């Protein structure tokens, strides 16, 4: 199960729990994929409400990869995410928040 102290969250995909975590490598991949110049730009994009479903998908994929998953965005297109798109967006927001909240806060 996910360890919130490590910045992890859990997402149910096709009935199986998957741990998501934004490692430095996952963040670098996310920056490149979303063409964000800095981490601040990346976070502002999500906090400002200017993100698309593609952005949420990219964040979920980066988190899954940081959690050890080796799939791609294409693998998630036909997957059943428990709770649907709204749950995926909530998990993405929680993942981003945990990645940038110092341990012991929040």
Query: In tens digits, what is the pLDDT along the chain, a chain of 106 residues?
Result: 888 888 899 999 999 999 999 999 998 988 888 888 888 888 888 787 777 888 899 999 999 999 999 998 999 988 999 999 889 989 998 998 888 876 666 5
What pLDDT is stored for residue 82 in this prediction?
95
Q: Note the helical H segments in 1-106.
A: 24-34, 39-47, 53-66, 73-77, 84-99
Give the pLDDT of residue 57: 92
CA angle 34, 37, 85 (to 5 degrees): 25
**How much is the pLDDT for 105?**
61
For the entire predicted model, the pTM comes to: 0.87
> Would you state the pLDDT for residue 104?
63
The closest of 75, 72, 82 to 9, measured between CA atoms, is 82
pLDDT, residue 84, reads 92
């Amino acid at each position: 199960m996910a360890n919130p102290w490590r910045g992890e969250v859990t997402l149910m995909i096709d009935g199986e729990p998957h741990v998501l975590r934004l490692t430095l490598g996952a963040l670098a991949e996310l920056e490149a994929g979303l063409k964000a110049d800095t981490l601040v730009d990346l976070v502002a994009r999500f906090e400002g409400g200017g993100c698309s479903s593609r952005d949420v998908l990219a964040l979920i994929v980066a988190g899954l990869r940081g959690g050890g998953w080796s799939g791609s965005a294409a693998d998630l297109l036909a997957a059943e995410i428990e709770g649907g798109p709204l749950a995926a967006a909530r998990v993405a927001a929680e993942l981003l928040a945990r990645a940038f909240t110092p341990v012991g806060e929040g």
